[in-house]
Structure 1
Amino acid sequence: MILRIKRLAALAAACLLPGLGAQAAGNAEQIVQSLRFDSRALQHKKPFGAVTAGSEVRFTLQALPGVEQATLVVAQRRLEGNQDLIEYRELARLPMQKKTRRHGGLEQWSVPYRFGAPAIYGYHFELRIGGRPYVYQNNADPVHWTKEAGSMGLGLAEALPAELQQLRRYRQTVYAADFKVPDWARDTVYYYIFPERFRNGDRRNDPQPGRDRYQDKDVELHANWLDKPFKPGTGDGSDAVYNNDFFGGDLAGIIEKLDYIRSLGANAIYMTPIFRAASNHKYDTADYTQVDPAFGTNADFARLCAEAAKRGIRVIPDTSLNHVGSDSIYFDRFGNFKSGGAFESAKINPASPYAGWFSFDASQAEPDRQFKGWVGVLDLPEINKASPAFRAFAYGNPDSVMKQWLDRGAAGWRMDVAPWVPDDFWRAWRTAIKAHKPDAITIAETWFDASKFFLGDSFDSTMNYIFRNALLDYAAGGDARKLAAQLELMREAYPPQAFYALMNLISSHDQARALHHFGYLDDGDQAKLKDAKQRLRLAMFFQMMYPGAPAIYYGDEVGVAGGDDPYNRATYPWADQGGRPDEALLAEVQRLTAMRHALPVLRHGSLGAPLYLDEHVIVLLRQDGRHWAITATNNAATPQTITLQLPPALAGATFGDALSQEPIQARQGRLQLTVPALFGRVLTWN
């Protein structure tokens, strides 16, 4: 990357101190422009990346002679909610010492700092040059979904802002030394299922209009499995109610297709909630202790886990401990349960055993104003997570909900809307989960930089939306250097055990599917569909060769398209239901997952900064003991030929192409490589 320094000539000319001449100002500008700190370079920051509590880190800044003073400023970050609060408390101001020996004409300013307890820290450098204050801080790169700008690495030198809130601090993750992630996590390929739309294995449990209810309204059942999901107000013939249309997908359908899932190369199933709930998405939990009748029974869940285990597949369920459904045994707004809900028939019920789970305002006359819905959604009453009774029910009791489902075969939990739940809740929750089942995985739903969840006291992994957005942008034709910046941020900020366990998704039930992102709008345009599938193939290639756990959203592997909710939740196009799955695309995905499973270096191998990077091509070097791999991708419409400078260990290596088996020879430490258009290559050597 090129060091980006804001030009200060105009400022210097306008703000000269008395007696400071134009030549001095020009010299000061040159010194400011020469400032250099790269948080990923060992000559500037050692050791690299996230560190354990109590570790000492040495920071070194370079500049032309003339810096009068340099100070490292360290602060501790506090982040709450969905980035609703971000603030820093200053901990230390450390004078940096100038080394007498120069490097390439540049002076070295250095200081060590020993970090304390696990936390996210911030740091920046304050300098005095030509009698004026400057700051060297994080760059201004936007990070997907993240309020704090800056992808780290090379930074920017600027005039010191008057307000500290304007600083872009570098961020330093300090995590617990005993932070352990399940060993199996980095070897996982997830198959990500929205159960209502995957497979109907038992028609006897299909929701029936006139019999089953959605809150106080009727349900809708699609007669045709290949229908599009209903969206009120679009003229599709549906009623005016959202999330009340059903296709009949269930646990029996997943069990029926376990061999298919295994043939795809997946060895774990992550599925969105299956507990009893009124909606088709089931995030409006009605009863945490029961599988929804439309999905089957508790025994069916246990059978799913047992049958999956026979095939080497783990099952990870999903739920929210932040909110329940208004139509639930806990809240019972519509009087459907007669179970003593806390808001039974739209009236506050202080005698309810669940009354302490919620916060009510009895002074309000209007029922809608008497409680808080999560992000204002009244269908989802927000739980008071401080309630001791709820905490005991959720994870504290010997027969708590979390433990019950682990005992039925779950391999861990994916937790919905994790940022809305207090940190102390997650700390106690993790302790309970790991004590009950030490190798259970804990996965957060976070969309922004998830560093705060990887301190060793809450989660092992997260749904990696930064990866998703960066990779989709790249596969759509975006600059490879922007992809690299986002990925390098996570490599630096996340502890390695979490980084290698990240759920690296491409599509999800909350965002438009990949084909939609790549320009196919489900309108039958075959040229756009062909191009979109090629770009999906590129994205999945990258997903399979990169550290972390790839997640395949059901149907992506056979070309299912769809825009925003509800169209991203379309049914899988099974041939026996009249669908036309893309068998060629399926075979390609199987080939890629097989490559990943066959090459441990892709799952376990070390990862450094890109070996090569330009607008279209990104090349990564991996090492796992004596095994090496070079991975390269190209998002250009034409093949790209590049020359790589290899480390000495590979100077004369003969590599094999993991997909074509074609040999390729390095000569005198250099390797000429042609990367195919809109795809990639994996070269291996041992």
Structure 2
Amino acid sequence: MFLEAIYHSTDSEYCHAIDENTILLRLRAKKGDLSKCVVCYGERYYPRENVLVTPVDMNKVASDSLFDYFEAEITTGFERICYYFILYDGKSSIYYDGSGFHEHPNINRTLYFQIPYIRKEDIADVPEWAKRAIIYQIFPDSFATSKGHISGKSIEVPLREGITVRSKLGGNLRGIIENLPYIEELGVNCIYLTPIFTANSYHKYDTVDYYSVDPCFGDNDTLKELVSKCHESGIKVILDGVFNHSGADFFAFRDVLEKGEKSRYKDWFFIDDFPVRYDDNPNYKCFAYVKFMPKLNTGNPEVIEYFTKVGTYWIKEADIDGWRLDVANEIDHNFWRAFRKAVRSVKPDAFLLGEIWHDAREWLQGDQFDSAMNYMLTYACIDFFVKRNINVEQFDARIQNLRMRYKKDIQYAQMNLLDSHDVSRFLSLAGGDVRVLKLATLFMMTHVGIPNIFYGDEKGIEGITEDEYRRPMMWEDTERSKDIFNYYRKLISIRKKYMDVMLGNYVTREVDILKNVYVYSREAGGKKLYIVINNSEHPVRVDVKVGDSVSNVTELLHDRVYPVTDSKVSLELDAISGAILEV
């Protein structure tokens, strides 16, 4: 038994409360090492010396390239719990508790793993609607000027004190409102808008005024109208909050530029020395090294107060449903805790999504964000579907590793994306091969987490450079764009119809390296969907084992019925294609 590979930790993704009566426990072990894992739990304040424990068999729920992961959900009336594990490798067994490994169980319960008290306040509270969301990301300047149209014309609007704001392609909030029927037809139920507040540049990530909609996009009343009409259609709205940095024309930074060390706002920023040098080699911290994006000191109580008020203002004023937080990993944790507390006090089911491209565990403990942008999944999909520099076994290992990374409810709210306003279009990376886009989208739409569609992906928009992947929305259809749109709409309708299954278990069923075929199931409440992916350049026959409880199954993408023979369904899949079987 490889003891050095065995790992468990309390108050983490390995041990957390699902609700006030249910605890989820996980244990990690070397891949293939353990044949069985049992958790034994009891009440911490049991009145006798030997704690009465209840044994529960743990299930192996995932395996990555190095480890197996065992899991059990415990429902108990205890608020205070202690527990240990019994591990078996087929030849021997060992006890594992908070003090290490032992041949016999400890009598001293203090040495067990401990859950001191299940506190409702400490349970990750992810809005239920968010776990059921299908997000459509809109870059407002690029989307629409009016119904089915974008002007492609830039706008400049002079403001006070020599400040000018501009757009590039003419998109605005009115254009989004007039195209809500299109968004409804697609079937999504949440819109995420990149920044819309008054800012100098077309992308609006250099905010001038956090309390006004940029005049290139409309005004505050236009935003209220947009949110109201979205809500009438059952669509949530998330705005982009840029609180890591401001624009150079933000009132506080202008004051610092004007008054230098005498400015009352000097501590709102990270100024190296005075006078402030506003040039290509600035003497203050910025987003990256961009002089017109000075970095905010979010550890300053005044800055915390200002931006928590911004966060609550737009919920009160426009009834938005949440925030996507820009450059979230460069802002201190206490700021985000304060922000969450303020926002949730106004709207208890507000959704908070952090832009974090890497492992986001320290932000996803339940006290800061509900979700993060899952770029780690993006890159796994690029490696498997596009570059093909990993095989199906390696892809599954990466997916399983990501699945075990966060607390359960947090995992079901991860924002899964193939591309965004910050990276090249997935279809372009795939060399324009629509089959690859469709197959990767099939995976994203049936995976654990929230699927995100960047505007135009559903029409086959392409682009490698920033100007290209933020190009104008395609409003005049071709046969190709219609085909892609209908495929997306079909997948969205399937996900919505089987949402309870999508919030259930994920089980790897088959990993065929030779055929490059991947089969997994989504399961809940006795219902199962089997997803079959052929990521090879050749047609394949796949025999999917579905059990003997059914006589036939329905393939949902093409509405075909297949017989079950000897507990198997035989599928003939085209090259780079997939199927969804309802079992």
* TM-score, normalised by the number of residues in structure 2: 0.79
Using the TM superposition, give the Cα deviation of residue 35 of structure 1 relative to its aligned residue in structure 2, in angstroms. 5.8
Using the TM superposition, give the Cα deviation of residue 668 of structure 1 relative to its aligned residue in structure 2, in angstroms. 4.3
**Contact 1:361-1:369 at 8 Å conserved across structures:** no
Task: Letter of the 1:58 partner, please give it.
Answer: F
Summarize the alignment of residues 320-469 of structure 1 with structure 2, pairs less than 5 Å apart: 320-332=242-254, 341-344=255-258, 348=260, 350-352=262-264, 354-363=265-274, 366-367=277-278, 368-395=281-308, 400-407=309-316, 408-469=318-379
* 1:58 maps to 2:85: yes
Alignment correspondent of 1:257 = 179
Equivalent position SS for 1:331: helix
Structure 1 unaligned residues grouped into runs of 5+: 6-31, 75-91, 100-111, 119-173, 220-243, 333-340, 520-528
CA distance in 1, matches of 2:161, 2:407: 44
Alignment correspondent of 1:561 = 462
> Number of residue pairs matched?
514
Alignment correspondent of 2:43 = none
Task: Letter of the 1:342 partner, please give it.
Answer: V
Summarize the alignment of residues 196-595 of structure 1 with structure 2, pairs less than 5 Å apart: 196-201=141-146, 208=155, 212=158, 246-332=168-254, 341-344=255-258, 348=260, 350-352=262-264, 354-363=265-274, 366-367=277-278, 368-395=281-308, 400-407=309-316, 408-476=318-386, 477=388, 478-519=390-431, 529=432, 532-575=433-476, 582-595=481-494
Percent identity of paired positions between Structure 1 and Structure 2: 29
Equivalent position SS for 1:60: strand
**Contact 1:53-1:177 at 8 Å conserved across structures:** no
**Contact 1:189-1:268 at 8 Å conserved across structures:** yes
CA distance in 1, matches of 2:403, 2:451: 16
**Contact 1:186-1:603 at 8 Å conserved across structures:** no
CA distance in 1, matches of 2:268, 2:452: 34
The one-character-per-residue Cα deviations of 1:62-89 (angstroms, maximum 9, x if unpaired) are: 4878x9xx997x9xxxxxxxxxxxxxxx
Using the TM superposition, give the Cα deviation of residue 369 of structure 1 relative to its aligned residue in structure 2, in angstroms. 4.3
CA distance in 2, matches of 1:653, 1:546: 26
Alignment correspondent of 1:41 = 60
**Contact 1:276-1:292 at 8 Å conserved across structures:** yes
Distance 1:618 1:45, change over 3 A: closer
CA distance in 1, matches of 2:517, 2:234: 36
Alignment correspondent of 1:25 = none
Distance 1:618 1:363, change over 3 A: same
Structure 2 unaligned residues grouped into runs of 5+: 5-29, 38-58, 63-67, 106-110
CA distance in 2, matches of 1:634, 1:295: 43
Using the TM superposition, give the Cα deviation of residue 208 of structure 1 relative to its aligned residue in structure 2, in angstroms. 4.1
**Contact 1:199-1:254 at 8 Å conserved across structures:** yes
The one-character-per-residue Cα deviations of 1:599-626 (angstroms, maximum 9, x if unpaired) are: 2344323223x11112322211222213
Alignment correspondent of 2:44 = none
Using the TM superposition, give the Cα deviation of residue 660 of structure 1 relative to its aligned residue in structure 2, in angstroms. 2.5
CA distance in 2, matches of 1:272, 1:309: 19
Alignment correspondent of 1:143 = none
Task: Letter of the 2:456 partner, please give it.
Answer: G
Distance 1:61 1:569, change over 3 A: farther
Alignment correspondent of 1:227 = none
Distance 1:412 1:535, change over 3 A: same
Alignment correspondent of 1:231 = none
Distance 1:538 1:97, change over 3 A: same
The one-character-per-residue Cα deviations of 1:355-389 (angstroms, maximum 9, x if unpaired) are: 33113233567455442112332221111111111
Using the TM superposition, give the Cα deviation of residue 98 of structure 1 relative to its aligned residue in structure 2, in angstroms. 7.9
Using the TM superposition, give the Cα deviation of residue 257 of structure 1 relative to its aligned residue in structure 2, in angstroms. 0.6
**Contact 1:467-1:487 at 8 Å conserved across structures:** yes
Equivalent position SS for 2:209: strand
Summarize the alignment of residues 142-153 of structure 1 with structure 2, pairs less than 5 Å apart: none
CA distance in 1, matches of 2:290, 2:161: 14
Using the TM superposition, give the Cα deviation of residue 33 of structure 1 relative to its aligned residue in structure 2, in angstroms. 12
Using the TM superposition, give the Cα deviation of residue 291 of structure 1 relative to its aligned residue in structure 2, in angstroms. 0.6
The one-character-per-residue Cα deviations of 1:82-108 (angstroms, maximum 9, x if unpaired) are: xxxxxxxxxx76134389xxxxxxxxx
CA distance in 2, matches of 1:215, 1:480: 59
Alignment correspondent of 2:103 = 97
**Contact 2:260-2:275 at 8 Å conserved across structures:** no
Task: Letter of the 1:502 partner, please give it.
Answer: Q
CA distance in 1, matches of 2:405, 2:82: 15
Using the TM superposition, give the Cα deviation of residue 473 of structure 1 relative to its aligned residue in structure 2, in angstroms. 2.3
Using the TM superposition, give the Cα deviation of residue 440 of structure 1 relative to its aligned residue in structure 2, in angstroms. 0.8
CA distance in 2, matches of 1:54, 1:37: 26
**Contact 1:516-1:563 at 8 Å conserved across structures:** yes
Using the TM superposition, give the Cα deviation of residue 501 of structure 1 relative to its aligned residue in structure 2, in angstroms. 1.5
Task: Letter of the 1:343 partner, please give it.
Answer: L
**Contact 1:45-1:59 at 8 Å conserved across structures:** no
Using the TM superposition, give the Cα deviation of residue 36 of structure 1 relative to its aligned residue in structure 2, in angstroms. 6.0
Using the TM superposition, give the Cα deviation of residue 401 of structure 1 relative to its aligned residue in structure 2, in angstroms. 0.8
**Aligned match of 2:133 in 184, 188, 202?**
188
Structure number, greater radius of gyration: 1
CA distance in 2, matches of 1:423, 1:117: 24
Distance 1:666 1:35, change over 3 A: same
Alignment correspondent of 2:11 = none
Distance 1:351 1:117, change over 3 A: farther
Task: Letter of the 1:355 partner, please give it.
Answer: K
Equivalent position SS for 1:557: helix
Equivalent position SS for 1:41: strand
* 1:657 maps to 2:579: no
Using the TM superposition, give the Cα deviation of residue 245 of structure 1 relative to its aligned residue in structure 2, in angstroms. 6.4
**Contact 2:238-2:320 at 8 Å conserved across structures:** yes
Using the TM superposition, give the Cα deviation of residue 452 of structure 1 relative to its aligned residue in structure 2, in angstroms. 2.2
The one-character-per-residue Cα deviations of 1:206-230 (angstroms, maximum 9, x if unpaired) are: 7546x649998988xxxxxxxxxxx
CA distance in 1, matches of 2:80, 2:162: 53
Equivalent position SS for 2:519: strand
Moved more, 251-260 or 374-383: 374-383
**Contact 1:655-1:684 at 8 Å conserved across structures:** yes
Equivalent position SS for 2:175: helix
CA distance in 2, matches of 1:486, 1:34: 17
**Contact 1:373-1:381 at 8 Å conserved across structures:** yes
The one-character-per-residue Cα deviations of 1:459-482 (angstroms, maximum 9, x if unpaired) are: 111111111111232222442222
Using the TM superposition, give the Cα deviation of residue 270 of structure 1 relative to its aligned residue in structure 2, in angstroms. 0.5
Distance 1:180 1:587, change over 3 A: same
Using the TM superposition, give the Cα deviation of residue 573 of structure 1 relative to its aligned residue in structure 2, in angstroms. 2.0
CA distance in 1, matches of 2:534, 2:480: 27
Alignment correspondent of 1:114 = 113
**Contact 1:634-1:679 at 8 Å conserved across structures:** yes
Distance 1:245 1:411, change over 3 A: closer
CA distance in 2, matches of 1:545, 1:246: 36
The one-character-per-residue Cα deviations of 1:651-670 (angstroms, maximum 9, x if unpaired) are: 44421111223222334444
Equivalent position SS for 1:342: helix
TM-align CA RMSD: 3.8
Using the TM superposition, give the Cα deviation of residue 298 of structure 1 relative to its aligned residue in structure 2, in angstroms. 0.6
CA distance in 2, matches of 1:204, 1:508: 22
Distance 1:50 1:358, change over 3 A: farther
